[in-house]
Structure 1
Amino acid sequence: MDLILWRHAEAADPERGQSDMQRALTSKGQKQARRMAEWLTSQLPESCKVLVSPALRTLQTVEPLGRKFKVMPELAPGADPHELLRAANWPHARDPVLIVGHQPTLGQVAALLLSGQPQYWEMKKASAWWFVQREPNEPASLYLKAVMAPDLIVK
């Protein structure tokens, strides 16, 4: 199974009276989202399922990808890393799964997959980490296929 974790792009600080869920992308964040969406479009198979947090910044991050996606409340800020993996049906999903979410959860998931512990690993804004587990019942078949950040994409 392929699991791609995509952290939302740069978002504005909350305005007075605004909830964290309503934070929008900055202009820099919009550019980051477009660049990563172009790279992901060139890499992802058509069969990839896209799961997104209900926060505005994640919805705006995934929009340039131009694919259907499912909004999942269990991916909201503060999500449990084990719940995120359950939402993705890791490692048993037939098709690749792209999750657009938040720190620290995405970093915890990356750490859990690679080290067995949900540690606090940093994942840069708008970056994507691509994991592959060749055999669902063989944790040793897991590897990190790619880590990409928008500033590494050459146009």
Structure 2
Amino acid sequence: MQLILWRHAEAEDIAASDLARQLTTRGRKQAQNVARWLRARLPDDAVILASPAARTMQTAEALTDQYRVVRELAPDASVDAVLTAAGWPEGIAPAVVVVGHQPTLGEVAAHLLDAGTDKAARPRGWAVKKAGVLWIASRERLGDDHAVLHAAITPELV
């Protein structure tokens, strides 16, 4: 399974509610640039999951209009909620893109990739820039599941 963690692009600071915050003009450009990079690399059968926040749906829409809103991915979602939604490590599809929020996405990356972290404890999260992508693959080796970082991209690098 390929798990692509995509943080929403830059959003306005103030709105009627946190879930209503919209992307800024800069955020729309960030999302479009990263979406172009992803589109060139994602398999056709990739599944896109987005938080119910307006900013994550707008980020996902830069990639495709074929995405699922998963309320369990809302801001402050747990690591377990993200992994369950994506079906890690087998996957609900060969490639799953989760468009979500910090600090959750950084915590998912830390949980999967920090080999020295006590998996029972909540891991310290990695910093993920707005519109940044962490591409992680699962693989089985000698009967154990492992996570491998395939790419870490920021909007400035695409």
Amino acid at match of 1:139: D
Q: Which of 23, 36, 39 matches 1:41? A: 39
- How far residue 67 of structure 1 moved from its aligned partner, in angstroms, is 4.4
> 1:43 aligns to what SS in structure 2?
coil
Larger relative strand fraction = 2
Output one character per residue of 1:128-150: Cα deviation in whole Å (capped at 9) or x when no partner.
Answer: 0000112295234x210001111
- In structure 1, what is the equivalent of residue 81 of structure 2? 83
Question: Displacement, 1:64?
Answer: 1.4
Q: Provide the aligned C-alpha RMSD in A.
A: 1.4
Aligned to 1:130, what secondary structure does the other structure show? strand
- The C-alpha deviation readout for 1:77-129, integer Å capped at 9, x for no partner, is 00001111011000011421100000000000000001145212210000100
Q: Percent identity?
A: 48
Q: Distance in 2 between matches of 1:103 and 1:150?
A: 16
1:148 aligns with 2:153: yes
TM-score by length of 2: 0.90
2:20 alignment counterpart: 22
4+ residue runs of structure 1 moved beyond 3 angstroms? Answer: none
Unaligned runs of 5+ in 1: none
Q: Which amino acid aligns with 1:50?
A: I
Superposition pairs for residues 5-154 of structure 1, below 5 Å?
A: 5-15=5-15, 18-93=16-91, 94-115=93-114, 116=117, 117=119, 118-135=123-140, 138-140=144-146, 142-153=147-158
Residue aligned with 1:131, SS: strand
Unpaired segments ≥5 residues, structure 2: none
> TM-score normalised to the size of structure 1?
0.92
SS in structure 2 at match of 1:34: helix
